[in-house]
Amino acid sequence: MLMNSYRVKLLVAFASAACLACAAQGQPITKAVQAACKDDYKQYCGEYGLETSGLRSCMDRNGHNLSKICVNALVKAGEVSQSEVDRRKRAAR
């Protein structure tokens, strides 16, 4: 149970960091992220258009629900730095 709680916190931290980094930098959402996050988008934030601040806010609010594949794609796309990911991992412990 404790391990699941840790993983959820870590997933939320990753997703939040990635969404905040996207919004701050104004980067377009990559095709890889769109593909990996398609189901998450439809389930949680389908009412928002792509590339909108509303979508970024929605994904941030639903970070704890995002799939692992989506979070991994956000990290791989460089939408959050590895140092920020590491910082949030330590903070979630």
The ranges assigned to domains in the chain are 2-92
> Taking phi first (over 0 means left), then psi (-120 to 50 degrees means alpha), and beta for anything else, what does residue 52 get?
beta
Tokens representing 88 are 């949030």
Whether the CB-CB separation of 68 and 18 falls below 8 Å is answered with no
pLDDT attached to residue 6: 59
In tens digits, the chain (93 residues) has pLDDT values of 555 665 655 555 555 555 554 544 567 889 999 999 999 999 999 999 988 889 888 877 776 777 889 888 878 987 666 676 566 567 767
- Per-residue pLDDT at 11: 56
* CA–centroid distance for 21 within its chain: 9
Please tell me the pTM assigned to this model: 0.60
